[in-house]
Structure 1
């Protein structure tokens, strides 16, 4: 009996020990499998994120980039060739094909033989009054629209800027530095064409797979209609021998507007100066547009000599000891125009006041 009771006691003790051990193992297993409650970030229940146990191991990224990420295939590389593409032409300088038949109802030969008349000589002792005036011609005005006549004729494009550029390219007119209106520094035709162009631009060329095949350097073409202002330097002289007031145009300078990359206007930039007395022979072979009578057109030399253009004064030697432009000390544009008209009246009144009635 004692042996049986001892055996039963040992069995009970072993069962109790095994129960305690199994309970501890179940408790450890529960701790391993139980996940802590997710933080209330608002992303777990919305589908934008998962709990830490559900997230897959990923590489860390930052705003500065990841070295393990693959570079895009269209990034420029050092071994991609660069090709310089020659300009196919300029709208202001394209070679115009001559007509193979008479493109008019009459034979027009006079325009080819026209020569400007020589200026009347003014002795230095007889020039008792002289004033220099700088003007600006805005071709957007209705009276100045002939400057923008864009038709093509046998002698080329009829825009005024195209006529000047063609004469410079053919070395019929010498261009001078735009920063000095005293005609001190001549420019080569190549330098003039570079200043007129819009520079160069590098354009990538892609293949069918979207990879960069090569880079092409192309010249930016400039619209000739964007040159809509011209500066004119002239001198008014009173000749006491003939008792007349003469005006002599000394130079003409085209002006190009400058814009930022966002299209904001900066300022007007002069391109070059030409000496007008040297250009009279060229301008006498080109006719200006006449919208009222196409058969009664005058030459460009006659247009300037007859003052058939509209302009406003921007600078003068009258009461200007500091050699400043009107906009340097008159900020209001309306007051600048009124001051320009006041200068015109002073020059006109000088001649009129010499007469007695």
Structure 2
């Protein structure tokens, strides 16, 4: 009888232990917990390659600009004088001709633009003159720099692309936002449209689709802003009395890049 009582006591304790564990987990959709929803949360709206929130050891938002006129970025800019086979015109055709993805007026994606509104933003400068595609040589985007602790990798998770009309193109009235598009929409569309190409002028058999070019980061993009309490651009943080403010902003952007690299390298020393 004593042995039987001991066995009953042991099984009772086991039942209580596992019962509490099951109860603690609960229905994750009703009561999120550390063992519940968060480990499955991921950005499926903007990210082309979403990752779980619980796998992010480090994250900082970075805003960058690709100047298509730079030698390294010419494969995206396009060939010839018109640049009609470049990335800007291919995005335009995807929106206007194929209605492939939505375009928005704001970076929170709450104000959708009609095709007509997008076309006006794209073609008309501040003084009412029409412009040429080659005059749109900036491509801005926002991404998260991440460290994936699950795979021990640093990653770049692009969220959106911003089409910008440079100030000189916009009758020197300041730069103008043409529209915002989700990176996921951009990525998935051009993955299925390889005729829009990153052009390899040294070996045309190695032209790449835009999704491949962005995966390989075959572009040079300067940092314009990163997460900060003032939500300020790097250029805005430079002392206005600096006689070489533009150069200083460029150097500060490079310094931020180096700090990211140092942080990544430091992780491997732990």
Contact 2:64–2:223 (CA<8 Å) still a contact in 1?
A: yes
Distance 1:314 1:225 in 2: 22
What SS does structure 2 have at the residue aligned with 1:271?
strand
Counterpart residue number, 2:12: none
Distance 1:248 1:236 in 2: 7
Distance 1:121-1:253 versus aligned 2 partners, 3 A rule: closer
Structure 1 residue 200: deviation in Å?
Answer: 11
TM-score for the superposition, normalised by structure 2: 0.72
Distance 1:260 1:231 in 2: 16
Distance 1:119-1:333 versus aligned 2 partners, 3 A rule: same
Distance 2:205 2:224 in 1: 35
Q: Deviations over 1:88-125 (max 9, x none)?
A: xxxxxxxxxxxxxxxxxxxxxxxxxxxxxx96552211
Distance 2:49 2:95 in 1: 27
Structure 1 residue 224: deviation in Å?
Answer: 0.5
Distance 1:252-1:121 versus aligned 2 partners, 3 A rule: closer
Counterpart residue number, 1:72: none
Counterpart residue number, 2:264: 351
Distance 1:260-1:339 versus aligned 2 partners, 3 A rule: closer
Counterpart residue number, 2:103: 175
Q: How does 1:65-76 map to 2 (within 5 A)?
A: none
Distance 2:48 2:130 in 1: 39
Distance 1:200 1:140 in 2: 22
Structure 1 residue 236: deviation in Å?
Answer: 0.9
Counterpart residue number, 1:277: 184
What SS does structure 1 have at the residue aligned with 2:175?
strand
Distance 1:260-1:189 versus aligned 2 partners, 3 A rule: closer
Distance 1:126 1:159 in 2: 36
Q: Deviations over 1:277-296 (max 9, x none)?
A: 11112222222111100111
The match for 1:325 among 223, 233, 238 is 233
Q: How does 1:100-249 map to 2 (within 5 A)?
A: 121-150=50-79, 157-169=84-96, 170-177=98-105, 180-198=106-124, 220-249=129-158
What SS does structure 2 have at the residue aligned with 1:176?
coil
In terms of fraction of residues, the more helix-rich structure is: 2
User: Is 2:216 aligned against 1:306?
Assistant: yes
Structure 1 residue 185: deviation in Å?
Answer: 1.6
Contact 2:84–2:133 (CA<8 Å) still a contact in 1?
A: no
Structure 1 residue 260: deviation in Å?
Answer: 9.7
Give the CA RMSD over aligned residues. 2.7
Structure 1 residue 184: deviation in Å?
Answer: 2.1
Distance 1:150 1:183 in 2: 32
Distance 1:119-1:196 versus aligned 2 partners, 3 A rule: closer
Is the radius of gyration larger for structure 1 or structure 2? 1
Contact 2:48–2:188 (CA<8 Å) still a contact in 1?
A: no
What SS does structure 2 have at the residue aligned with 1:193?
helix
The match for 1:267 among 137, 158, 174 is 174
Contact 2:65–2:223 (CA<8 Å) still a contact in 1?
A: yes
Q: Deviations over 1:209-253 (max 9, x none)?
A: xxxxxxxxxx95321111011111111111111111111111111
Distance 1:143 1:232 in 2: 17
Q: Deviations over 1:243-282 (max 9, x none)?
A: 1111111111121134599x6x332212111111111122
Distance 1:282-1:150 versus aligned 2 partners, 3 A rule: farther
Counterpart residue number, 2:18: none
- Unmatched segments (≥5 aa) in structure 1: 1-117, 202-218
Counterpart residue number, 2:252: 339
Distance 1:121 1:159 in 2: 27
